[in-house]
Amino acid sequence: MIPFDALLVVALYATLAALAVAAVALGVLYALRGRSVATQLIVVGAATVLATVSGILVISFLMLINDHDRSVVLAVVISAGLVALGVSVLLGRRLVAANRTLVEAVRADRFRPPSGRLPAELAELSRELEAAYDRLAASHEREQALETSRRELVAWVSHDLRTPLAGLRAMAEALEDEVVADQDTVQRYHGRIRVEVERLTEMVDDLFELSRIHAGALRLSRQRVGLADLVAEAVAGAEALARAKGVRLHGDVREGLPVQVDAGELGRALRNLVVNAIRHTPSDGAVEVIGEVRGGEARVTVADACGGIPEDDLPRVFDVAFRGEAARTPGGGAGLGLAIARGIVEAHAGEIGVANEGLGCRFEVRLPLTV
Ligand SMILES: Nc1ncnc2c1ncn2[C@@H]1O[C@H](COP(=O)(O)OP(=O)(O)OP(=O)(O)O)[C@@H](O)[C@H]1O
Ligand SMILES: [Mg+2]
């Protein structure tokens, strides 16, 4: 039996020898820090074997074990160490291979997480990469849709502005040259010129509003407004249009709680919805504007008898410059009304949506209630 004191001495020398090897190993690992994990694992394996061997050599040098024991222990330690080194190499290679499949997946056009089982850290990295790619793809899609609609807007608006301008010029020239002389035609021309100028003014005004919304420059001056007043105002503003078209327009408020909104801006958004509803409803049809409080929100719905919007168009009606087939006629709208309505509602932290229902479609504006 070896005395305890001697055992302490052995432990002390073995520790010192191992620390010396560890210091060298750390230096080597530092120098190799940019190299493959496999290489670094081999260094760790070799350092473990060397630490043990150096301990044995030191205590045999101090003659704490005899030559025979030393040879036996060294043989055992070296063969076990070589096996451990082999395991390190295998582990290193597996890590390198897993990493390579991940790198290949990242290099592919569309990232798909590798199907094989990855070590926990790499699996987490793979999940994060997948989420990041999804976010990137979604934002790329949004950007492209925005770019397309912007391009379409420029094309359509320049067409929409140019056509009435050409008409205005022709009428003005005819009046100037006195090509039209009879009183009736002259009066008709003046009337048309006024109508076209009003339409162009509205369009330019809409464009200005939209650019303010997109630039985030819409400044809301909120005040407490009754839901009933908002609905009444929207209905009153479109009454003349409804009468001229023979559409029955009806407003109703079931519960008139106040909302904290910019009455001017929100009124504009609702007016756009109501005007659309009247425009797309055949004469003798009905348009209903309803204000109510449901699910802790104020809601204004505008239901019409347009016959439904094609399913494919539903998600696009709020896009800038989107106009349904029927609306792409000279004299039709510019496709700005709903984009403006959405911008204004979202600036109020509200939501806007549309669905086909009954004889037509139903636009719905949801706003947070005043706290
Ligand atoms: N109430 C509705 N019923 C049926 N279709 C609608 C209705 N409201 C909007 N749409 C469709 O959505 C498109 C976009 O509407 P939006 O108000 O943005 O543009 P617009 O009315 O064509 O032009 P603008 O409002 O700029 O004068 C319309 O062209 C139409 O096809
Ligand atoms: Mg419109």
Pocket test for ligand 1, best of 323, 342, 362 (most atoms within 8 A of CB): 323
Average pLDDT of the segment spanning 166-174: 93
Distance (angstroms) between ligand 2 centre and the Cα of 273 equals 7
- Here the tokens at position 7 are 């055992």
Query: In whole angstroms, what separates CA 242 from the centre of its chain?
Result: 39
C-alpha closest to that of 367 among 235, 251, 267: 267
- List the residue whose alpha carbon is closest to atom 1 of ligand 1: 277
The pLDDT value recorded for residue 326 is 62
CA dihedral 342, 157, 217, 316 (to 10 degrees): 20
Taking the C-alpha atoms of residue 326 and residue 335, their distance in angstroms, rounded to an integer, is: 12
CATH 3.30.565.10 is right for the domain spanning 223-368 = yes
The pLDDT value recorded for residue 154 is 81
As a whole number, the mean pLDDT across the chain is 89
What is the CATH class of 153-214? mainly alpha
C-alpha closest to that of 49 among 21, 72, 70, 8: 21
Residue 250 has φ and ψ, to the nearest 5°, of: -140, 130
Average pLDDT of the segment spanning 166-191: 92
Distance (angstroms) between ligand 2 centre and the Cα of 334 equals 8
Mean pLDDT lowest among 206-210, 241-245, 279-283: 206-210
Ligand 1 atom with the shortest distance to the CA of 281:
3
SS3 357: strand
Under 8 Å between Cβ of 102 and 130:
no
Q: How far is CA 312 from CA 81, 233, 301, 309, 325, in A?
A: 69, 32, 22, 8, 12
The pLDDT value recorded for residue 137 is 92
Taking the C-alpha atoms of residue 335 and residue 157, their distance in angstroms, rounded to an integer, is: 9
The pLDDT value recorded for residue 332 is 67
The residues pairing with 360 across neighbouring beta strands, listed in sequence order, are 357
Kindly report whether the global pTM for this prediction surpasses the value 0.85: no
C-alpha closest to that of 61 among 23, 14, 19: 14
- List the residue whose alpha carbon is closest to atom 29 of ligand 1: 323
Tens digits of per-residue pLDDT, 85-126?
A: 899 899 999 999 999 999 998 888 888 888 878 889 899 999
- List the residue whose alpha carbon is closest to atom 31 of ligand 1: 324
The pLDDT value recorded for residue 142 is 87
Average pLDDT of the segment spanning 311-326: 85
Ligand nearest to the CA of 322: 1
- The number of residues in the chain equals 371
Taking the C-alpha atoms of residue 200 and residue 361, their distance in angstroms, rounded to an integer, is: 28
Distance (angstroms) between ligand 1 centre and the Cα of 215 equals 23
What is the CB < 6 Å shell around ligand 1? 206, 272, 276-277, 280, 304, 306, 309, 317, 322-324, 327, 332-339, 361
- List the residue whose alpha carbon is closest to atom 7 of ligand 1: 276
Over its C-alpha atoms, the chain yields an Rg (Å, rounded) of 39
Half-sphere exposure at residue 168, Cβ-oriented, CA atoms within 13 angstroms: 14
Domain ranges, ordered by start, for the chain: 4-107, 153-214, 223-368
Under 8 Å between Cβ of 276 and 338:
yes
Q: Which residue has the higher pLDDT, 151 or 242?
A: 242
The pLDDT value recorded for residue 371 is 57
Average pLDDT of the segment spanning 180-184: 88
Distance (angstroms) between ligand 1 centre and the Cα of 279 equals 8
Tens digits of per-residue pLDDT, 36-91?
A: 888 999 999 899 989 989 988 888 887 777 888 888 988 998 899 899 889 989 99
The pLDDT value recorded for residue 330 is 53
Place of tokens 């009066």: 187
